[in-house]
């Protein structure tokens, strides 16, 4: 059975709670959550957005007004308090962003305690689905599925793996793509002068920097590319991931700089070590002649950076992680194997020398991603919230209170109450 997630709906669930990391925290899930909230608010002006932000550094974030509660990721008692406050409110549904690294407890099991305590319909978006999960991780995902009214994944391959590897009922899973900003298809020369790359052929990677991004693969490919295209410059745009920086400082970025120097490529690699806002990001994407995602792991069912790059009409070269294989199929991009610098060099060279083919790929990517603009994604989530709300009304169920995952206790630090922010003492008072 395929769920119909078209734009029409018999009833819209407009008072929605959102749970996950949230801006100004600097991570992909935080940005995704904020963009989703904004998209839904834009689609339904009468909607009420109420965010519960999860943080590993509480009391340090200046949240926007829609954030009403902050939960310290490692304090189990705060998840319980947040769930009780949500239950006391008039929310129609809850939307939870899930990734193993967001929540506290073993494999992030604190979120299960939270989900089981909720009384309203719950939709959980899974941003990570591991191909070879541990037994505990597999069981946790299965229990999250049981505690939710619907799961959302960002790609069809994610839906397939949930069924094949986690034994989750396929009818319980909806596919809604990663949202992207709606920007016009543009000429890469438009912003080059103002961004200081006039006359250069620009290869671009953006996103929070971490070792799994495989930037060294692209740097090693540069000498071969530069021999035929001496005007090439590779721009690595983005700050180091906060978790990486806390644990290892800037050691990865420093190793990339040394590699570029050793290869004689210091004039062909530029690092922009900062977190850029959306307008500036769109400008940088607009100057890219080729966009690359040389990631090292295939276990990736979503990539906001790849979605954004395709959404502005970039010609992409990527390693064959799951999401890239799905998004770049049918001539929408080029695949090069993991860690294969020679393959990246050949793919980029071919795109730079063959402008008609590069532009054809750009147009196919841009046209394909029109279905992914945030307005479309917001409507699909609203439709899904309406469906789960209507179904729960017809088939009410009691909150689940089981305390274990296949015999594993989930009890942890039951510390102080979650912190109300923006002047709200209780989510139910909004």
Residue 6: band (very low, low, confident or very high) from pLDDT cuts 50, 70, 90: very low
- pLDDT tens-digit series, residues 206-226: 998 999 999 999 999 999 999
Residue 60 DSSP SS3:
coil
Residue 410 reports pLDDT greater than 60:
no
Residue 20 or residue 244, greater confidence: 20
- Specify the CATH class of 201-372 in words: alpha beta
In angstroms, the Cα distances linking 302 to 45, 139, 228, 399 are 29, 21, 33, 31
Residue 231 DSSP SS3:
coil
pLDDT at 419: 65
Separation CA 272–CA 213 (nearest Å)? 15
Residue 295: band (very low, low, confident or very high) from pLDDT cuts 50, 70, 90: very high
Question: Would 15-179+374-429 and 201-372 be classified into the same CATH topology?
Answer: yes
Q: What is the CATH number of domain 15-179+374-429?
A: 3.40.50.2000
For 203-238, letters b (16+ CB in 10 Å) and e give bbbbbbbbeebbbbbbbbbbebbbeebeebbbbbbb
Residue 302 or residue 32, greater confidence: 32
- Cβ-count burial of 163 within 10 angstroms (0-12 exposed, 13-18 middle, 19+ buried)? middle
pLDDT at 302: 87
- pLDDT tens-digit series, residues 306-340: 999 999 999 999 999 999 999 999 999 999 999 99
Percent of the chain surpassing pLDDT 70: 89
Residue 428: band (very low, low, confident or very high) from pLDDT cuts 50, 70, 90: very low
pTM of the model: 0.86
* Phi, psi for 381 (deg, rounded to 5): -65, -40
Please report, for the chain, the start and end positions of each structural domain, with discontinuous segments joined by +. 15-179+374-429, 201-372
pLDDT at 12: 56
Residue 193: band (very low, low, confident or very high) from pLDDT cuts 50, 70, 90: confident
């Amino acid at each position: 059975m395929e769920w119909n997630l078209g734009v029409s709906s018999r009833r819209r669930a407009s008072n929605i709670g959102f749970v996950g990391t949230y801006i100004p925290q600097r991570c992909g899930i935080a940005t995704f959550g904020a963009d989703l909230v904004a998209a839904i608010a834009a689609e339904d002006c009468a909607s009420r957005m109420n965010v519960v932000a999860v943080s590993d550094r509480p009391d340090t974030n200046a949240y926007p007004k829609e954030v009403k509660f902050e939960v310290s990721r490692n304090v189990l008692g705060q998840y319980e308090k947040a769930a009780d406050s949500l239950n006391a409110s008039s929310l129609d549904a809850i939307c939870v962003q899930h990734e193993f690294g967001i929540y506290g407890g073993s494999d992030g099991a604190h979120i299960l305690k939270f989900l089981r305590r909720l009384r309203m319909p719950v939709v959980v978006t899974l941003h990570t689905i591991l191909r070879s999960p541990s037994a505990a991780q597999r069981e946790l995902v299965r229990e999250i599925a049981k505690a939710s009214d619907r799961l959302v994944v960002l790609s069809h391959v994610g839906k397939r793996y949930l069924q094949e590897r986690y034994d989750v009922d396929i009818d319980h899973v909806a596919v809604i793509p990663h949202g992207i900003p709606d920007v016009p298809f543009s000429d890469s020369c438009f912003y080059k002068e103002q961004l200081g790359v006039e006359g250069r052929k620009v290869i671009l990677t953006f996103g929070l920097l971490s070792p799994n991004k495989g930037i060294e693969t692209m740097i090693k490919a540069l000498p071969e590319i530069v021999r035929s295209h001496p005007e090439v410059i590779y721009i690595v745009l983005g700050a180091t991931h906060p978790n990486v920086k806390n644990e290892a400082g800037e050691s990865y970025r420093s190793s990339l700089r040394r590699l570029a120097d050793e290869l004689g490529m210091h004039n062909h690699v530029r690092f922009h070590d900062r977190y850029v806002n959306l307008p500036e990001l769109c400008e940088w994407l607009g100057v890219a002649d080729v966009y690359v995602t040389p990631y090292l792991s295939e276990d990736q069912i979503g990539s906001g950076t790849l979605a954004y790059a395709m959404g502005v009409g970039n010609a992409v070269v990527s390693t064959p992680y799951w999401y890239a294989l799905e998004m770049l199929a049918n001539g929408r991009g080029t695949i090069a194997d993991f860690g294969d610098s020679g393959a990246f060099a050949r793919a980029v060279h071919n795109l730079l020398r063959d402008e008609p083919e590069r532009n054809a790929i750009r147009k196919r990517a841009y046209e394909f991603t029109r279905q992914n603009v945030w307005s479309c994604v917001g409507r699909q989530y609203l439709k899904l919230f309406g469906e789960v709300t209507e179904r729960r009304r017809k088939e009410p169920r009691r909150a689940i209170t089981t305390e274990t995952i296949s015999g594993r206790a989930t009890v942890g630090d039951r510390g102080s109450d979650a912190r109300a922010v923006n002047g709200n003492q209780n989510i139910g008072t909004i």
